[in-house]
Structure 1
Amino acid sequence: MKTLSKIFVLLLASFTVLSCNEKNKNIIVQTDYNDFLYVKDNKPRDFAQGEIDFWQQKFDKDPEQISYLSLLASNYSKLFENTGNVKYLYKAAELLLKSNETYHYTKVGTIRSLGRNYISQHRFKEALVLANKALKIGEGMKETQKLLFDVQMELGDYKNAEKNLKALTDSSDFDYLIRVSKWNDHLGDLKTAISLMEKANDVAVKNDNKSLKIWTYSNLGDLNGHDGNIQKSYDYYLKTLAEDPNNTYALKGIAWIAFSYEKNSVEANRIIDVISQRHHTPDFYLLKAQIAEYENNDTAQKENLASYFNMLQTINYGAMYNKYNALLYAEDKSTAAKALEIAKIEIDHRPTPDSYDLLAWSYYKLGDAKKALAISEKHVAGKSFEPKLNYHLATIYKANNKKEAIAPIKTELLKSTFELGPNLEKKIISL
């Protein structure tokens, strides 16, 4: 009996060690980001505000110096990026509009700046008009072609986007590298997209350009996460924070790793609760609602969704959250008709596979699976590698008994569970 007892104890100990080792395999997030979470000062925000105060005083003394308006607008844009407060984005637009009107739309740099502002506002058609204005003037063609590529990608005009990308070809140019990386991501070639972003990062590091390093590090964090390289993703977010301790985007990325990969909803919520105080945007409520859904906490999920919609009612975000609203409205039959309306607006704004997916998903949720299938097969299938869209596509196939079409999509979706999150992971498995 003693011998059997000893064997049992040894087996139990071995099982415990193996269980712990298995569990530790999924631990990526450490405490090394904690200091960044509680940074008290915000140098980028304070610097931008100081620049605004300086140039505003200069402009007040000499209102004829219209060039000051662009400098003010640039710093208001930086405040928007740093705080998430959309009033700064609108203020930048107001200043750039005034500048362009004064110049009678003859300065290509100012025209392009307003175009980029409109992209941030999801006013893509207006951004395209401005890009074409700059193109017609002819000055600074390469910079205008970069803007055109960005707008055309947003509008789903991939043919012309590719033409403008080919006109930029320069393997040593940072702006070209990040755009050709985006193009390869669009084509579903994630490995090449990462490789090109790494080359862009090499350029940023070689030139010791802080803002470009922040940009590439954070994007490499995203891309590696999408490719399943969670440790590399985490390391790049830490590199982002080393350059910019106030970078809430990187901290949000770490929160997603804690939630989606480690299933540590407590830590994910802790991160979000801290960073949402200094970068107050509606999407944080959506993330908290996702976490609450995973925890089967219906009360917290409803509270966070209510806070999300309340913020949208309090602050005018224009079309910036249309996609999220459509997906949320579609989940409830009583509001699914609203989702359909938004989807139609989005198609008018930007006829991309993403927008058509919203339309198909809305019809599916309204009970019209056949119409959903027709839209998906014409405008979504084979036209996007986005996992969320392909999850919708597989679900619509299932509703139409097209079982043979589901298997290859499901295989790819199972590789994207980190990107999609734990809630969709369960649904994918049941496809």
Structure 2
Amino acid sequence: MSPRATSAPASPAGSPTALTARGRAASAVARLATWASRVTGRGSGGMIGGLVALKVDPGLMRQLAAGRRTALVTGTNGKSTTTRMLVAALGSVDRVASNSGGDNMDAGIVSALNADRTAPLAAIEVDELHTPAVAANTDPEAIVLLNLSRDQLDRVGEINAIERRLRAGVAAQPQATIVANCDDVMMTSVAYDNPSVVWVAAGAPWAGDSVSCPRTGEPVTRTVDEAGAVHWRGTGPLPDGREFARPEPDWWVDDEAIHGPGGFTAPMRLALPGRANRGNAAQAVATAVAMGADPAAAVRAVETVDDVAGRYSTVDVDGRSAHLLLAKNPAGWQEALGMIDASADGLVIAVNGQVADGVDLSWLWDVRFETFEGISVYAAGERAADLSVRLTYAGVEHELEPDPLAAIRRCPPGRVEVLANYTAFRDLGRAIAALGGSDPARKEQR
């Protein structure tokens, strides 16, 4: 799709624009396709509507985005959660359109914007590869850069190439405020040259993909200060002579509170677990404030987010209380493993290797599974055998049960932790729904 091939009619600042005749036809066809998908039970329609619309009018995204104040959220992990938090925080300012179902490529974004034509604000989750083109079509007021690490190498490719592509895409949007994670070496490099950056210390416990500077190849060193903050710096200068080092954050979090510019401090008690989600919340708050939200109101809003498309939800499966967690790559798995309750009665780890997951599962060997004792562990999913080999080398006693639902049922009665990658999580949700319950993965798509 050519980023600026179709121009939309002018509209008053801050109000969504009218569509061209072709755009109106595309919008109508999209709504019909979405409706048909839902009533026939084929899905939420978040993708098919946009796919059909873009066939009719390839410039529809630009028309639907015109007149809105838009924030884009991108990164390897945390996009859906941060976007959901940003929607809540920006809701204190005005109505917000968003792709809350997680459809984060062109078609899904078009569907989301088409679903709410009049909302003056938009918070859009965007796949890393699609961010430059989506930014060119939406003229974002803010771009949120979360983290960047290996993910689906067979589809996404080498991490330094993605950093360069993102950097060029961000540089092409000088009007945007960049809200970047200064703890992440890769995202800091993406934002480093931008004229307007809000730096957030959102954390970056996974350093396996940032041992060297993405611009020079020189090693990156890390030190820890007395407060426990990790500071990093490149050992060699950038080509223009500047030092490449962790910027001082404008926003940061600790275990109890969030801190921001001008001495702002507020308690922050999130409903979602994990240190990573505190970082996600900090970036959502920082972005909302940059777009006009009151800081205290933004913090209160992100505290209300308790579910993201079924992630972190707990469902009953034959008397077992199954706590569902989603992870998709080494960094995400390492973070999710830290959320596992080791006192649970059972643990099911489910891994598929479909296109949406990435068929290359060699990353399993980068995840530290050597942490489970005294808990019944089951290796499940289409690639359960691959996972079983990894668990064996990690010294984790386990049983092989490819069907995740059957694996939950084989766990002792009580609390069961379930950690699954993308399609395994999706398929398990559908299996649970078939039992007569609601599909946890579709809660945010209705």
The TM-score with structure 1 as length reference comes to: 0.32
Structure of larger gyration radius: 1
Q: Determine which structure has the larger helix proportion and give its number.
A: 1
The TM-score with structure 2 as length reference comes to: 0.31
